Amino acid sequence: MEERMDVPLCDEYRISRKIYSETTFQQENEKTELVQKSIPQKLKNECRLIIHCTAATACLKLKQFFPVLSWLPKYRLKEWLIHDIISGLCTGLVGTLQGLAFALLAEVPVGYGLYSSFFPILTYFFLGTSRHIAVGPFPVICLMVGQVVLALAPDEKFIIANSTLNETQIDYEARDAARVAISSTLCFLSGIIQLVLGVLQFGFVVRYLGDPLVRGFTTAAAFQVFISQIKLIFNIPSTNYSGVLSIVYTTIDIFANISKTNFADLIAGLITLVLCLVVKDLNERYKHIMRIPIPIEVIVAIVATGISYGVNLEETYNAAIVKNVPSGFIPPVAPDVSLFSQMIVPAFSIGILAYALAVSLGKVYATKYNYEIDGNQEFIAFGVSNIFSGCFSCFCASTALSRSAVQESTGGKTQIAGLITAAVVMISLLSIGTYLEPLQKSVLAAIVISNLKGMFWQVVDIPRLWRQNKWDTAIWLFTCFASLLLDIDLGLLAGIIFGLFTVLLRVQYILKSTEHDQDCC
């Protein structure tokens, strides 16, 4: 023992391996995986399985396509049902208000936000692999939809002459019908793209949307949403801009018309915003004490509706109110295929981003509760959901962070909670929705802004990223500013291209460093 202690450790044990660069490591360790995951090989394997299909194989494939068949037979009725019911009721109340509010971002009549909060849940229940995310509208996705809607159906297209008043005015009925057709067609096309990518096993594309890129993009989108909703809180006349520098033109327009502020809407909006922010902060701070968070959005909307109806704010103070909330369901409508060529690029961006946001959040909950998310199946689930929803005049679905947080924090165990949420929205559509018609749009705009707090706080990522990785900081900042100054989908595309460019630069730098080390040796 003493003799061995006298021997230096470095002489006793010698470990030798060649120096790896990122490129050589990937070539040796990922080559087999890439070959195994090639699309032709997968198709060949799938065909072989179909030809030699057994009952067990068929059952396995059925469960893969319908994940509900895997977890529903194991559902613990006595333990989970009450939690799912409570969670679904809370999420449904919040989802109803958010559906109305987010429709403002999509530039369609607010009632269609209820459809978009109902139909996607039905298909995701059968096809989705996450048990905790709340499917429905997300503000960033709604903003991207609104950009497309404004580009294809601006107000200028629907100006008509009024011979009685000897002036021109906008045909709002025709404009809204056109915008609903555009948003639902965009939803349908995004669903087709998602479904195709899922069938072709392209779930790995989410890897190219790195965390810095997504967070930089969503921060910029939050500012875009904020500017678009501020004009509703002030209720001032402004032009709807889209395209490059649209946020700059909108901001200038707001300041130019600030003197025309409607103070009834401004006061209602500011009170709503302060109350929502304060109570949401209390919900987060004391979530370990409160089993059910305070549904402040619902409370504020009910009180604001009652005040608007009692005082008659529309007639007395010319306040902008919701006015028309549809009652019941509308029949399915075929998408306008002629519009596909004009929206293929934004449809692809929306489909990828909606998927990435949902899967990223789903993986957080899956890790917390020890189950797995299938990326390819999520593509299929959201693809089918958007195709189905697009036929019912909905806009694109993803998942909202706040609704998912409510569903999880109130004890939701499975997507049974999602079905309860859909039932609450359905009740709103059939009966309660019409009672919300006196609700001011400034209140809904304030609800939208209050849900952006988390995305605004992503700005504090910059110092942390700077200490960890300068390249990630550059991607965050570039994507954020590109999305602010360019059109929202162009900003995302620019961010992806810049991210790939930094990868090339990093690989080049590593190769040069490796060559330099080898020369020194």
Question: CA 34, 36, 37, 41: dihedral to nearest 10 degrees?
Answer: 130
Taking only the tens place, the pLDDT of each residue in 442-477 is: 999 998 898 888 888 888 889 988 988 888 899 999
∠ CA 270-274-277, nearest 5°, is 135
pLDDT at position 33 over 80: no
Taking only the tens place, the pLDDT of each residue in 255-299 is: 998 999 999 999 999 999 999 999 989 988 887 787 778 888 889
pLDDT of 35: 43
Q: What is the DSSP string of 280-295?
A: HHHHHHTTTT-SS---
Q: Please, which residues bridge with residue 136 across strands?
A: 398
Q: What is the pTM of this model?
A: 0.80
| DSSP β-ladder status, 167-170 and 159-162 | antiparallel
Choose from 96-110, 187-201, 390-404, 446-460 the range with maximum mean pLDDT.
187-201
Q: Please, which residues bridge with residue 266 across strands?
A: none
More confident residue, 38 or 359: 359
How many helices and strands, by DSSP H and E, does the chain display? 25, 4
Query: Which of 41-55, 68-82, 455-469, 480-494 shows the lowest per-residue confidence on average (mean pLDDT)?
Result: 41-55
| Residue 209 contacts residue 140 (beta carbons within 8 Å) | no
Structure tokens of 400?
């909202």
The gap between the terminal CA atoms of the chain, to the nearest Å, is 36
